DNA sequence: ATACTATTTAGATACTTGTCTAAATATCTA
DNA sequence: TAGATATTTAGACAAGTATCTAAATAGTAT
């Protein structure tokens, strides 16, 4: 299920920080890395999680792989979440 | 961090299904339970997670404990999420 | 081709989470 | 008070996740 991947991806502080960085501009892995104290393989693992959740996309530029936010997907998620909770107002028991 | 709890709570399908049920109406634990195949202690554990994330609240009615959605919190979250991704539009590298 | 830079994959380990059974707590009713 | 119902807590275990080091892959440059 897609929502699973999305929320799981968002439930980790490291990954949310990555997203915040990418919000400002697209970045290659090594520039993302300077913001964290974890190893490159660990970072790579988080990036894969974000990619599987379709929250980021990649593009090779020579030796580097540039990560960027999938903004359209985020809009969908926010909307989905909004609808999830605001359609069919809750009735008291 | 509060966002952690929120996304962690939302990242499990059982918990999302609980929220969907509570969206229709407030329910005691035993009525929530009939919708799942897990034991009561497991369900209770999920309910605690949702409560810690401030997504639901409880109220005792005799022997039963009635769970209900915290709708206002959901609106906040949806808004927060929307802002998280739509303020400061991403710039290309 | 060889060396160098950038990133990912593989395999191991520690931590976290979801589930269970058994026991405890709280309320109601006879 | 004793018994029944509703829910949570405690403790154990299996499965999932984050992290690491070492090795592999991909591209660039000499």
User: Which pLDDT tens digit goes with each residue over A56-75?
Assistant: 999 999 999 999 999 888 77
pLDDT of residue B32: 98
**Largest separation between any pair of C-alpha atoms in chain A:** 61
pLDDT of residue B89: 46
Residue B1 pLDDT exceeds 70: no
Average of per-residue pLDDT values in chain B? 87
**Encoding tokens for residue B90?**
């991403």
What predicted TM-score, i.e. pTM, was given to this entire model? 0.85
Distance CA A77, CA A7 (A): 10
Residue whose pair of structure tokens reads 């927060």 in the numeric block: B80
User: Would you say how long chain B is, in residues?
Assistant: 93
- Could you tell me the distance in Å between the CA of residue B39 and the C1' of nucleotide D14? 16
pLDDT of residue A85: 64
Q: Which nucleotides of D are covered by protein (CB under 7 A)?
A: 5-11, 17-23, 26-28
* Chain B span 33-92 residues with beta carbon within 7 Å of strand C: 37-39, 41-42, 45-46, 49, 60, 62-63
pLDDT, greater one: A93 or B49:
B49
Distance CA A28, CA B93 (A): 9
**Encoding tokens for residue B75?**
């609106």
Strand stretches in chain A, DSSP E: 27-28, 56-61, 64-69
Burial of A83 (0-12, 13-18, 19+ CB in 10 A): exposed
In total, the C-beta contacts within 8 angstroms joining chain A to chain B are 109
pLDDT, greater one: A57 or A6:
A57
């Amino acid at each position: 299920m897609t929502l699973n991947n999305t929320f799981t991806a968002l439930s980790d502080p490291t990954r949310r920080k990555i997203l915040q960085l990418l919000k400002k501009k697209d970045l290659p892995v090594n520039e993302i890395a300077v913001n964290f104290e974890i190893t490159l393989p660990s970072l790579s693992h988080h990036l894969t999680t974000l990619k599987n959740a379709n929250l980021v996309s990649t593009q090779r530029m020579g030796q580097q792989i540039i990560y960027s936010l999938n903004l359209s997907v985020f809009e969908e998620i926010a909307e989905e979440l909004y609808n999830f909770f605001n359609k069919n107002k809750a009735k008291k028991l």
